[in-house]
């Protein structure tokens, strides 16, 4: 058995040497494989032939050792060497080297997890991070807000050139000097429109050119006086007459009919009565008292004769004859009015002109139409003074129904103190519909808003043109709606969010008693308001663009030391938003200076309306010119119709402002921390495995988190090829974590871990293995020679 066992024993030695050569050859072959871990073949004795177990010492013998003959060797283990490989810098930012314990996690073809030390990574067509052999690298991804989602492992994505991100502004920083020596804002800018009237009310019916005529005194030369017996008259008397129409109007008084000196009580007017007809239906008789020169009404008659039975005592208490209009050129208007409320319509069209070239005359107006609506119950007649063609004064008031005629014989002196004609008519109110708003241009009255549609408004503030704002005008839109729209378009702020620092009262829009829209700005010269002639434009429902003529003028100039600056901020989508910040000196004391700031943004998109005001507060400086306190430094911009976070809120940092004396105040926004949308241009991978993307706008965001594992027994892992390992039965479970945590090593980006193959040691191992192999063959050769000798014994 000895020679036979020697052959098999030698054979195991040959196999062992071959294994060593195989392992060493693999090590040498992978000496340039990144992340490769060299292996070592470890051997153990195989079977033993025991010839004696030996004996223990006795009193008579010293004992013997066991006698055992080994029957060869076997491979006990082939252990990978997980010692740290050399770190070599590379030019690829995706190359990662592990320093310390741990493995990258990659995904196999069937979704299983493998582990590797080879950090030579690349991206595929889907921007996913993969190993050099195509396995996807696993870690934690990010959501749409670039927040790492530490839930389940997923392929890491680095979307260079495609992912975009924006940075919403959170802070704006200012610099400049706000002098304490300027004027305190005490007087705001005030602008007012022309007078506007409410067109819902009835207007007078215009007269025709033939409805105004000159009226002369009647020709009474055909009349005579008759003595018809004794009567009440006892002196010398003179008579005159006027013609009277159906409305009770009288012509100017006639010349003398005659004078009587004896008692009589009858006047013969046979010749005069022929003047009566359709227009004048009767006459009034006037006479003097005995020996007097003043005429008084005696009575009215349409007959050919008139009997006078009025004594002097009664006579002088009667009506005096009508006055006559002075010489000159006259025009008339008439209005409708309410006797109870004094509500008065706008006037009719111009009546006349008519020239009065001689004294003793009057003017007759025909077919004046009484109101038909319940708003009015009478008419008022106005006439200019003979000395002033533009000064129209009330002549008379009439009530009734239908139509009426009127004869005007009033002197200038009689009407000069009366009320002046209001050409505008009923003033607009808050509830007046825009469709009823009337604007007068000389003698022309026009609807300011000819139709429903979209009203565009472009105003000026502080001399700067504001963005155009729009108001949808419907059949129910009122003047108050227009005022609110203009307030919002100008960014006029009436209240402060901080009740401890209220805005000075008075800012906003109102309607004056005479029908003007009046807008009062916030304090400061940089808040001055202005509305140009082309500020309004109405795009009607038919698509045509119509200019809206509502002229405004400045009625009060603003004061107050001011400064203004414009800057741009960004919302969460990277959309640039324009903001204008205006500051005005609000107050000074012996210890402090206070400026108030107002912020406007044309890009503000509130839930309702078009308001551009986005914040206000105060800045207080101490006695050394340093900012001592700021009230409410937050600006809030609504983003109603945009998908970005709403509102965009950011803080104003005034800490770098100076309150020292200067010729004038200055203010500028030095920087802000928001940015527009940018695409992913580069990235870095930190030691802790955090993948941080850098975008073209300078913003950085998390793109993912690399995860790694470590094992209790790395040598127990099962090699799967392609530089990968799998969990083995003796490796223990993987302990997952971020690089640098839980005993896991860190990552060096832009570097690789070289193979830890020791070429020198492996060459020595090759020499020893080859020597072992040759020695084994010599054993076999010797056994073969001995066997040959045994075979030769038979010969």
Question: Between vectors from CA 637 to CA 632 and to CA 638, what angle results, nearest 5°?
Answer: 130
Is the per-residue pLDDT at 735 higher than 80? yes
The answer to whether position 384 is within a domain reads no
Q: How far apart are CA 497 and CA 109, in angstroms?
A: 61
> Is this prediction's pTM over 0.75?
no
Mean pLDDT of 693-697: 86
Last residue of a domain, one of 275, 290, 315: 315
What is the average pLDDT score of the chain?
A: 89
Provide the domain limits for residue 272: 219-315
Mean pLDDT of 478-499: 89
For 712: left if phi > 0, alpha if psi spans -120 to 50, otherwise beta; the answer is alpha
The answer to whether position 397 is within a domain reads no
Quote the pLDDT of residue 230.
Answer: 47
Last residue of a domain, one of 514, 536, 556: 556
pLDDT-based confidence at 758, cuts 50/70/90? confident
Q: How far apart are CA 138 and CA 121, in angstroms?
A: 12
The helix (run of H) or strand (run of E) holding residue 7 is helix 2-29
CA-nearest of 556, 580, 552 to 568 is: 580
- CATH of residue 630's domain is 2.60.98.20
The helix (run of H) or strand (run of E) holding residue 104 is strand 103-107
pLDDT-based confidence at 24, cuts 50/70/90? confident
Helices 759-792 and 2-29 sit at what angle, rounded to 10 degrees? 160
Note whether 22 and 69 are same-domain residues: yes
What six digits make up the tokens of 523?
């304090």
Number of H helices, E strands in the chain: 5, 59
Note whether 545 and 588 are same-domain residues: no
Q: How far apart are CA 87 and CA 99, in angstroms?
A: 8
Q: How far apart are CA 566 and CA 580, in angstroms?
A: 4
The answer to whether position 284 is within a domain reads yes
Four-residue CA torsion sign, 460, 462, 463, 466: negative
The answer to whether position 443 is within a domain reads no
Lowest mean pLDDT among 204-208, 285-289, 757-761: 757-761
CB under 8 Å to 758, separation ≥6 — which residues? 27, 38
Note whether 550 and 459 are same-domain residues: yes
Is the per-residue pLDDT at 733 higher than 50? yes
Note whether 453 and 516 are same-domain residues: yes
Quote the pLDDT of residue 227.
Answer: 47
pLDDT tens-digit readout, 127-172: 999 999 999 999 999 988 788 999 899 999 988 887 777 889 999 9
Q: Identify whether 647 is preceded by a cis peptide bond (ω within 30 of 0).
A: yes
Mean pLDDT of 499-509: 80
Residue reference for tokens 């996807």: 136
What six digits make up the tokens of 795?
């010969």
Last residue of a domain, one of 315, 333, 357: 315
The answer to whether position 743 is within a domain reads yes
Are 691 and 590 contacting, i.e. CB atoms less than 8 angstroms apart? no
pLDDT tens-digit readout, 97-123: 999 999 999 999 999 999 999 999 999
The helix (run of H) or strand (run of E) holding residue 137 is strand 136-140
Q: What is the CA radius of gyration of the chain?
A: 57
Are 37 and 117 contacting, i.e. CB atoms less than 8 angstroms apart? yes
The answer to whether position 718 is within a domain reads yes
Q: Identify whether 763 is preceded by a cis peptide bond (ω within 30 of 0).
A: no
Note whether 601 and 669 are same-domain residues: yes
The answer to whether position 204 is within a domain reads no
The helix (run of H) or strand (run of E) holding residue 725 is strand 724-726
Note whether 545 and 566 are same-domain residues: no
Is the per-residue pLDDT at 441 higher than 70? yes
pLDDT tens-digit readout, 228-283: 444 566 677 888 889 999 999 999 998 888 776 655 566 777 766 677 888 899 99
3-state secondary structure of 32: coil
Q: How far apart are CA 367 and CA 390, in angstroms?
A: 24
Note whether 696 and 740 are same-domain residues: yes
Are 406 and 365 contacting, i.e. CB atoms less than 8 angstroms apart? yes
Note whether 456 and 546 are same-domain residues: yes
The answer to whether position 433 is within a domain reads no
CB under 8 Å to 665, separation ≥6 — which residues? 176, 177, 178, 179, 182, 561, 562, 563, 583, 585
Q: What is the rounded (10 degree) CA torsion for 323, 325, 326, 330?
A: 160
* Number of domains, the chain: 5
Note whether 663 and 565 are same-domain residues: yes
- 453 or 46, which is more confident: 453
């Amino acid at each position: 058995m000895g020679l036979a066992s020697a052959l098999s024993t030698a054979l195991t030695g040959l196999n062992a040497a071959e294994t060593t050569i195989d392992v060493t050859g693999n090590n040498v072959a992978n000496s340039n494989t990144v992340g490769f871990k060299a292996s070592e073949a470890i051997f153990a004795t195989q079977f033993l032939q025991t010839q004696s177990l030996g004996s223990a010492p006795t009193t008579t013998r010293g004992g013997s050792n066991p006698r055992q003959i080994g029957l060869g060797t076997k491979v006990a283990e082939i252990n990978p060497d997980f010692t740290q490989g050399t770190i070599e810098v590379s030019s690829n930012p995706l190359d990662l080297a592990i320093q310390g314990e741990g493995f990258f996690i990659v995904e196999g073809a069937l979704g299983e997890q493998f582990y590797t030390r080879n950090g030579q990574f690349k991206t595929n067509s889907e921007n996913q991070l993969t190993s050099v052999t195509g396995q996807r690298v696993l870690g934690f991804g990010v959501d749409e807000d670039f927040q790492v989602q530490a839930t389940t492992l997923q392929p890491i994505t680095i979307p260079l050139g495609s992912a975009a991100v924006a940075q919403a502004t959170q802070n704006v920083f200012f610099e400049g000097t706000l002098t304490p020596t300027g004027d305190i804002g005490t007087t705001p800018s005030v602008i007012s429109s022309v007078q506007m009237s409410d067109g819902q009310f009835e207007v007078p019916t215009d007269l025709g050119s033939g409805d105004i005529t000159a009226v002369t005194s009647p020709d009474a030369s055909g009349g005579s006086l008759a003595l018809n017996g004794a009567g009440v008259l006892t002196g010398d008397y003179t008579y005159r007459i006027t013609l009277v129409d159906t409305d009770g109007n009288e012509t100017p008084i006639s010349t003398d009919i005659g004078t009587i000196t004896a008692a009589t009580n009858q006047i013969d007017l046979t010749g005069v009565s022929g003047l009566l007809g359709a227009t004048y239906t009767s006459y009034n008789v006037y006479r003097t008292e005995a020996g007097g020169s003043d005429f008084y009404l005696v009575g009215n008659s349409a007959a050919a004769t008139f009997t006078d039975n009025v004594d002097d005592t009664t006579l002088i208490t009667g009506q005096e004859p009508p006055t006559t209009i002075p010489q000159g050129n006259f025009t008339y208007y008439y209005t409708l009015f309410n006797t109870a409320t004094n509500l008065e319509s706008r006037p009719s069209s111009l009546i006349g002109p008519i020239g009065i070239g001689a004294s003793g005359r009057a003017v007759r107006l025909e077919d004046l139409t009484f109101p038909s609506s319940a708003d009015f119950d009478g008419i008022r007649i106005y006439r200019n003074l003979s000395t002033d063609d533009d000064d129209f004064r009330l002549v008379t008031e009439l009530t009734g129904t239908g139509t009426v005629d009127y004869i005007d014989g009033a002197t200038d002196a009689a009407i000069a103190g009366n009320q002046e004609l209001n050409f505008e008519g009923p003033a607009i109110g808050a509830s007046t519909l825009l469709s009823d708003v009337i604007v007068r241009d000389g003698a022309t009255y026009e609807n300011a808003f000819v139709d429903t549609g979209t009203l565009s408004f472009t105003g000026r503030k502080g001399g700067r043109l504001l963005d155009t704002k729009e108001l949808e005008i419907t059949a129910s839109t009122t003047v108050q709606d227009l005022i609110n729209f203009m307030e919002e378009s100008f960014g006029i702020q009436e209240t402060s969010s901080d009740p401890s620092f209220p805005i000075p009262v008075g800012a906003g829009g109102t309607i004056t008693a005479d029908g003007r829209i009046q807008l009062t700005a916030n304090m400061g010269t940089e808040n001055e308001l202005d509305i140009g002639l082309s500020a309004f434009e109405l795009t009607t429902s038919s698509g045509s663009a119509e200019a809206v003529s509502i002229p405004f003028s400045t009625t009060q100039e603003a004061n107050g030391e001011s400064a203004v600056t414009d800057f741009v901020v960004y919302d969460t989508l990277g959309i640039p938003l324009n903001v204008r910040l205006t500051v005005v000196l609000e107050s000074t004391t012996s210890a402090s200076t206070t400026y108030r700031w107002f912020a406007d943004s044309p890009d503000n998109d509130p839930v309702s309306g078009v308001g551009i005001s986005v914040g206000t507060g105060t800045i207080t400086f101490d006695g050394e010119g340093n900012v001592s306190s700021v009230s409410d430094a937050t600006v809030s911009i609504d983003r109603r119709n945009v998908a970005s976070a709403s509102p965009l809120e950011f803080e104003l940092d005034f800490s770098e402002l100076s309150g020292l004396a200067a010729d004038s105040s200055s203010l500028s926004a030095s920087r802000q921390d928001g940015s527009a949308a940018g695409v992913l241009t580069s990235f870095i991978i930190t030691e802790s495995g955090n993948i941080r993307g850098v975008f073209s706008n300078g913003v950085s965001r998390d793109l993912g988190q690399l995860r790694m594992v470590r094992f209790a027994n790395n040598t127990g892992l099962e090699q799967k090829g392609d530089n990968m390992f799998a969990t083995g039965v003796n490796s223990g479970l993987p302990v997952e974590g971020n690089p640098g945590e839980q005993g896991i090593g860190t990552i060096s980006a832009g570097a690789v871990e070289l193979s830890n193959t020791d070429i020198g040691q492996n060459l020595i191992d090759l020499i020893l293995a080859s020597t072992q192999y040759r020695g084994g063959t010599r054993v076999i050769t010797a056994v073969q020679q001995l066997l040959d000798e045994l075979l030769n014994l038979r010969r």
